[in-house]
């Protein structure tokens, strides 16, 4: 079990901490598989920034920032570098989520060493995950970008789209970032209208997922078609259409992303009738 903390508790058993060294989104792991566990940091270079993430099964968890590329070196030469995406499935899901948190926290620490308002050096807030500027009082928090992903349903059909950013022919639910001033539900309705030109309603929350590439929070929804014909935005969508369960294009199934969970859930409901 993982408990989120910003400071090590006084009674922490530090005999076998978990260390997550990260350089440009690549996590250095135990070559035997799993996160690296050791009594001491695998980086003795004092210039390496570290951040406490919490306690995993009684042991402290630390993120260590190895950026830039010519920055601090690992003392342990045999740690295996694995890009965060590829780490999925190789370690328990809870550990993968912690590694994603580590990537976001080291990015936050590295990009908030100076105040964005007055340029003075900041210090770490002892109680919250935040940086404080003592000169002007400005506080900065880790950047988190809410995004929505939605599966539009019409009777026994779902709308699936081949996004222009996908590397190959691959269909998925529609997704987009939430804009300032709108609710998640507003974003669902707007994005669907912008991307495929149809009107939707009955927006229902499905679940959410931290998505550390680099700092999104994906919020999943189902909704129903109300009106209009599909008219894809050519800047974003290569192709979009309605599909039934027995006639699906290449789609994510289950796996690491909420788009796969949405489609899996819909297929289960369809097969249950
Ligand atoms: Zn300041």
pLDDT tens for each residue of 25-69: 899 999 988 999 998 888 888 778 899 999 999 999 999 999 887
CA of 118 to the centre of ligand 1 (A): 4
pLDDT at 169: 87
CA of 116 to the centre of ligand 1 (A): 7
Q: Is CATH 2.40.110.10 correct for 145-272? A: no
Confidence band for 262, pLDDT divided at 50, 70 and 90: very high
Q: What percent of the chain has pLDDT over 90?
A: 78
CB 28 within 8 Å of CB 22: yes
CB atoms within 10 A of CB 84: 18
Domain chopping of the chain, boundaries? 2-111, 145-272
pLDDT at 19: 95
CA of 122 to the centre of ligand 1 (A): 8
CA of 209 to the centre of ligand 1 (A): 33
Residue owning tokens 């691959």: 170
pLDDT per position as a tens digit, 196-234:
999 999 999 999 999 998 899 999 999 999 999 999 999
CA of 105 to the centre of ligand 1 (A): 21
Confidence band for 76, pLDDT divided at 50, 70 and 90: confident
pLDDT at 168: 83
pLDDT at 21: 95
Average pLDDT, the chain: 93
Bridge partner list, 22:
27, 65
Over residues 66-88, the mean pLDDT reads 87
CB 148 within 8 Å of CB 176: yes
CATH of range 2-111; options 1.10.3470, 3.90.79, 1.10.10, 3.40.50: 3.90.79
The answer to whether the 2-111 and 145-272 domains have the same CATH topology is: yes
Confidence band for 11, pLDDT divided at 50, 70 and 90: confident
pLDDT at 73: 86
pTM: 0.87
| Backbone phi and psi for residue 101, each to the nearest 5 degrees, phi listed first | -60, -45
CA of 109 to the centre of ligand 1 (A): 16
CA of 24 to the centre of ligand 1 (A): 27
pLDDT at 273: 75
Over residues 84-105, the mean pLDDT reads 94
Q: Is pLDDT above 90 for 255? A: no
Question: What is the SS3 string spanning the chain?
Answer: CEEECCCCCCCCCCCCEEEEEEECCEEEECCCCCCEEECCCCCCCCCCCEEEEEEECCEEEEEEECCCCCCCCCCCCCCEEEEHHHHECCECHHHHHHHHHHHHHHHHHHHCCECCCCCCECEECCCCCCEECCCCCCEECCCCEEEEEEEEEECCEEEEEEECCCCCCCCECEEEECCCCCCHHHHHHHHHHHHHCCEEEEEEEEEEEEECCCCEEEEEEEEEEEECCCCCCCCCEEEEEEEECCCCCCCCCCCCCHHHHHHHHHHHHHHHC
Residue from 14, 56, 13 nearest 34 by CA? 56
- For the record, the structure tokens of 81 come out as 């570098």
CA of 132 to the centre of ligand 1 (A): 8
pLDDT at 63: 96
CA of 115 to the centre of ligand 1 (A): 5
CA of 272 to the centre of ligand 1 (A): 58
The residue length of the chain stands at: 273
- For the record, the structure tokens of 212 come out as 């550390």
Sorted by sequence, the CB contacts under 8 Å of residue 166 that are 6+ apart come out as: 172, 238
CA of 110 to the centre of ligand 1 (A): 16
Distance of CA 166 to the CA centre of its chain: 18
Over residues 241-264, the mean pLDDT reads 91
CA of 155 to the centre of ligand 1 (A): 55
What residues pack around ion ligand 1 (CB closer than 5 A)?
Answer: 115, 117-118, 120, 133, 135-136, 138
């Amino acid at each position: 079990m993982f408990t989120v903390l910003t400071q090590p508790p006084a009674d922490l058993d530090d005999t076998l901490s978990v260390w997550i060294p990260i350089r440009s989104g690549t996590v250095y792991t135990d070559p035997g598989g799993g996160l690296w566990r050791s009594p001491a940091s695998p980086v003795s270079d004092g210039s390496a920034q570290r951040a406490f993430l919490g306690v995993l099964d009684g042991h402290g968890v630390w993120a260590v920032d190895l950026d830039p590329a010519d920055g601090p070196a690992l003392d342990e030469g045999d740690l295996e570098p694995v890009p965060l995406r590829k780490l999925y499935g190789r370690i328990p899901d809870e550990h993968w989520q912690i590694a994603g948190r580590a990537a976001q926290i080291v990015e936050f620490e590295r990009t908030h060493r100076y105040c964005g308002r007055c340029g003075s050096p900041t210090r770490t807030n002892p109680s919250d995950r935040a940086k404080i500027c003592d000169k002007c009082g400005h506080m900065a928090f880790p950047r988190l970008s809410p995004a929505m992903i939605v599966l539009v349903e019409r009777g026994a059909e779902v709308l699936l789209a081949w996004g222009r950013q996908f590397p190959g022919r691959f269909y998925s639910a529609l997704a987009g970032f939430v804009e300032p001033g709108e609710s998640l539900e507003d974003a669902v309705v707007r994005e669907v209208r912008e991307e495929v030109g149809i009107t939707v309603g009955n927006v229902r929350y499905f679940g959410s997922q931290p998505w550390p590439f680099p700092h999104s929070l994906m919020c999943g929804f189902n909704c129903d078609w109300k009106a209009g014909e599909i008219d894809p935005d050519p800047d974003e969508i290569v192709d979009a259409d309605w599909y039934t369960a027995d006639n699906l294009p290449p789609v994510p199934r289950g796996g690491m992303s909420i788009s796969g969970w949405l489609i899996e859930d819909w297929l289960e409901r369809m097969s249950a009738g």
